[in-house]
Amino acid sequence: MYEKKLLIVSIFIVITIGILSKNKLLKKNEVWSIQLEKISAKVVGDASYTLPNVYNTILSDYSVYFKKPGDKVIFTFQMVNNGTSYAKLMDIIKSIPKCSEKSLCNNIKYNIMSEDGTKIEKDMVLFPNSKKNIKIVIEYPNNISSNKSMMIDNLDIDFLFSKLS
């Protein structure tokens, strides 16, 4: 009787170790690869720009220059999940823009949206091996009575993702 119980316990231990090892191997083989790719820009009016530097999910060191109200720059890029895990957008951290014309800075429109124009929200999920087209629109609205030109920088953005359990 004792030998039978010992055999059952031994089999249980072997199965448990096998399952735990398999789970560890699966986790070791998970790939986490979220990045921003294919950055480009389009100008409306007489605006100009510098393209952002990209580091994984961070856009940094770029600026726009507006000559007059109505000018706009539209940056487009892809959020890419080349990994094997679902990725959840936890936060979007935007730096506070710095404008050469400080009195006009609060009037600038600065929006992050998907290709279809819907606002990008926290909790958005990127599936494994998928892409999402994103655009950032920075605009000097027509309803401003000033005709002053303006440089805007400190437009850094960090898209914070986490693995979805």
In tens digits, what is the pLDDT along the chain, a chain of 165 residues? Answer: 545 544 454 454 545 555 555 444 445 678 889 999 999 999 999 999 999 999 999 999 999 999 999 999 999 999 999 999 999 999 999 999 999 888 888 888 899 999 888 888 888 999 999 999 999 999 998 887 777 889 999 999 999 999 986
Sheet holding 98-99, edge to edge: 48-50, 63-66, 150-153, 98-99
pLDDT of residue 142: 84
Residues in contact with 135: Cβ distance below 8 Å, sequence separation at least 6, in sequence order: 74, 75, 76, 77, 112, 113, 114, 115
Rg (CA), the chain: 25
Cα 100 to chain centroid, rounded: 27
- How far is 146 from 105, CA to CA, in rounded Å? 12
- Structural domain boundaries in the chain: 1-30, 34-163
pLDDT at 29: 74
